Structure 1
Amino acid sequence: MSTHPNPRRLLVIDDSEAIHTDFRRILTDEPLKSRGELDLMADALFGPEAAGSSVDKTVVEVDSAYQGEEGVARVREALAAGRPYALVFLDYRMPPGWNGAETLRHLRRVAPTLPVVLCSAYSDYSWAELQAEFGESRLLRQLRKPFNRQQVRELALGD
């Protein structure tokens, strides 16, 4: 977790454990259990990731939910505890539960001003359909998988 007294709290809602690991790797100092051969090759070619990072990873705290229902419950709990999330990264597809759009509908009821980044390699909804239902605003963004590390950092740190 974070050593900063007031970390920027983020929630990742995705059914893939690997995606949660990727977000933690990009945004926190949390040690990874194992590093793949490609990671080691990238470090050899470009240097350790932390050395080139412009993000102070100690000011970000990443929590996980593996289904939409669990994610909405975590947002409720965070609000009740007075420790709201600053941003949610939300997957479009999370079988067998709610998909991203359904989860977003519930999130908007619980926390109407919570910024959400919808993430996926594909979508069951067009971006135009999502904007028509949820409105065009800075509260809703889109991030395509596989995602760009710098783009994730910029979204996570906000304005």
Structure 2
Amino acid sequence: MSQSASKRRVLVIDDSEAIHTDFRRILCPEPRKGKNDLDLLEEALFGPAAPTRGEGPNEPEFELDSAFQGQEGVAKVTESLTAGRPYSLIFLDYRMPPGWNGAETLKRLRVVAPSLPVVLCSAYSDYSWTELMREFGKSQVLRELRKPFNGQEVRQMALALTEPRSPG
């Protein structure tokens, strides 16, 4: 299995470049190049540090793609399925002017990939969670994340929702 095939593929659909940067920093952290003086002093005082996220031998890696509008996101999901490299998870913004909003994008994603986990993200409450549940049904593959979000919460949610499921 190649390295890229072992990564969990995540698509971020959001109209803000800064949000894509935040998700990349959280899910695809740059490996540390070496230890600085403070790291060496800390190690001398407290002993070797435990591996941090992305450094452990069994820590899954993420491959992150970006779409800046709902239409582009649905096209990328369709292409990924055709290519045999489906996404494991989508983080989807509620508001993405001037195109489809999150609810419209989700409707179209459910036609293309009905069981693909989606996390709806927003700082606004254009739709209540109750309204969304009424429209899309209660589902283990639909979650909500409020902005501004906590990096640890995003990472834990991504790990949990991309965990390989056994068939049946």
> 1:41 aligns to what?
none
The count of corresponding residues between Structure 1 and Structure 2 is: 139
**Structure 1: any 5+ residue segments left out of the alignment?**
32-50
> 2:16 aligns to what?
16
Counterpart Cα distance in 2 of 1:8 and 1:146: 24
Per-residue CA deviations over 1:78-120 (Å, capped at 9, x if unaligned) read: 0000000000000000000000000000000000000000001
Per-residue CA deviations over 1:21-46 (Å, capped at 9, x if unaligned) read: 00000010359xxxxxxxxxxxxxxx
1:105 to 104, 107, 110: 107
C-alpha distance 52-19 of structure 1, shift in aligned 2 (>3 A): farther
Counterpart Cα distance in 2 of 1:95 and 1:148: 24
Does the 8 A contact of 2:4 with 2:63 survive in 1? no
TM-score (norm 2): 0.77
> 2:34 aligns to what?
none
Does the 8 A contact of 1:9 with 1:61 survive in 2? yes
Counterpart Cα distance in 1 of 2:135 and 2:54: 33
Q: Which amino acid aligns with 2:12?
A: V
**Structure 2: any 5+ residue segments left out of the alignment?**
32-49, 164-168
Does the 8 A contact of 1:28 with 1:58 survive in 2? no
Counterpart Cα distance in 1 of 2:112 and 2:64: 20
- Provide the aligned C-alpha RMSD in A: 2.0
> 2:129 aligns to what?
127
Does the 8 A contact of 2:9 with 2:89 survive in 1? yes
SS at match of 1:21: helix
Matches within 5 A, 1:37-56: 53-55=52-54
Matches within 5 A, 1:60-139: 60-139=62-141
Counterpart Cα distance in 2 of 1:123 and 1:90: 14
TM-score (norm 1): 0.81
Residue identity over aligned pairs, in percent, reads 69
Counterpart Cα distance in 2 of 1:122 and 1:52: 36
* Runs of 4+ residues deviating >2 angstroms: 2-5, 51-58
